[in-house]
Structure 1
């Protein structure tokens, strides 16, 4: 079996799918956000879904553009029908071993209701506290620090203005090649930079546990700061939050001596007030052209943002991920990098 990454909109739901579970879509979406897309969708030789209709709906809810699939091309039409029914009914006959479940739950800090799970009522052993620990809230504060990465702020510098954005210094480095974060653990090409021009769910774990990836990123020439999405229909607070997260993660890894190139993104003109903060004039920066060519409004918004970015930052070198666009970048040297997903598809089709 080979794993294929297919466009979300290209997958074909089975028109006679006998099992509908729309109430579970948000729970599956929560699971994907927390753990990643760990269970590929199974499709037949024609691209019709055999198993994974709910995962597809969850992926669309998360605005994922491509998802992993396995093509069960060797199954006959009758086997496909039988497998679809069997896959939809397997959970109905499963049971919990309470003793083993108790061992698995020990020490876990997850609200399983977020994933639509109603677990058996298992009484966990109480945690015995010393006199000094009785009533102590430190563990809860530590959990809050971890959630918002307050514990890594001490390694970073921040702007002195209202926005207090983390500062990414100009390392003066230009990579010869870029590979996606989703291939960082398996790629043998270490003389490259790591980019995050991917669906957010694929690198949310970097925010959730940034220290886990320090040694991995040290193996590569550099990283681009994460490209957390700025959708037009997001509340402005979320747009500020995602710019902040990108800067903080970049500044954090830079504090370990890892060369970091800031990734810049923006939305409407109101985001210009904060989306270029934390980047010094003359820096090397990266932007993307993905998704802007076929949409007139998106293209105009992209051009407006590039123009403002040049005015504010005046970059010395501009790394552009994706196809070329006709635009006057003034004095900035422009280096283009091809979309590696498209390049991979081209290589596989040869």
Structure 2
């Protein structure tokens, strides 16, 4: 990655100076490799070890700002935004995919059938991150009716701009570049084969991510990114490429209201405040489904994500209680192990 002498181009703002511990300087995390961080600062790119304090919790993550002292990362600065998911499996553990984002680019391919429910799930997490979401529909050159494909996805993405692009023909790329301005950070998120690596290379103007040939049968490929990495774009913007995610579990319900703003607005119009949207009289949601204003599949997806977020909240609470009990037990064991005082 080319060297950057102006920290503002890396997203640094003067108000962060107060967050730095004494005797340290700031650097942006571009890649994380088992305790070694590739970071960018005013001197360019370097690899530094992270202290145990930095590695604790969910950090560090690509996009984090860290404090450097004597060639080591000694602290992670507070995150302004974070795209976070629940780790795969039956767990309440969380993984920060990318931090300090201005934009989350939700990538889906126009080739093949639209995966509307998947787009809605990604948008829910994107809204919950604190960053602004944007849907990017790739492989426009393989789609017979781009306008119809964009319109279909836009119906499931209220309040979100939807752009169609082709990394082959260049269609739509300038529109994406215009939204990732100098000093802005965007993350590409989406499933394997959606064309994220090809999009990164097209936006960067050089090969920074490996790609594989698409399958002739369905126009889809396999995503070859194996680690999250921050790339500097020619216009000064920053782009985080991420591996395809088999699972994207909700950490909480923070993004549900925005992702399903249309359903939430309908629910607010129900006669009863505690309406379950089943057989209650005066249910505005049921009425919208009956007259075709609301896709029943979208309503079902909303309910499913609500239930998922609630289950995750319960698991997180149980995990916190278990950790607290373990701390108390360890304290008691330590007290019992102390030698008795002599009088």
TM-score class normalised by the smaller sequence: under 0.3
TM-score (norm 1): 0.23
Instruction: Point out which structure has higher relative CO (alpha carbons under 8 A, 6+ apart).
Output: 2
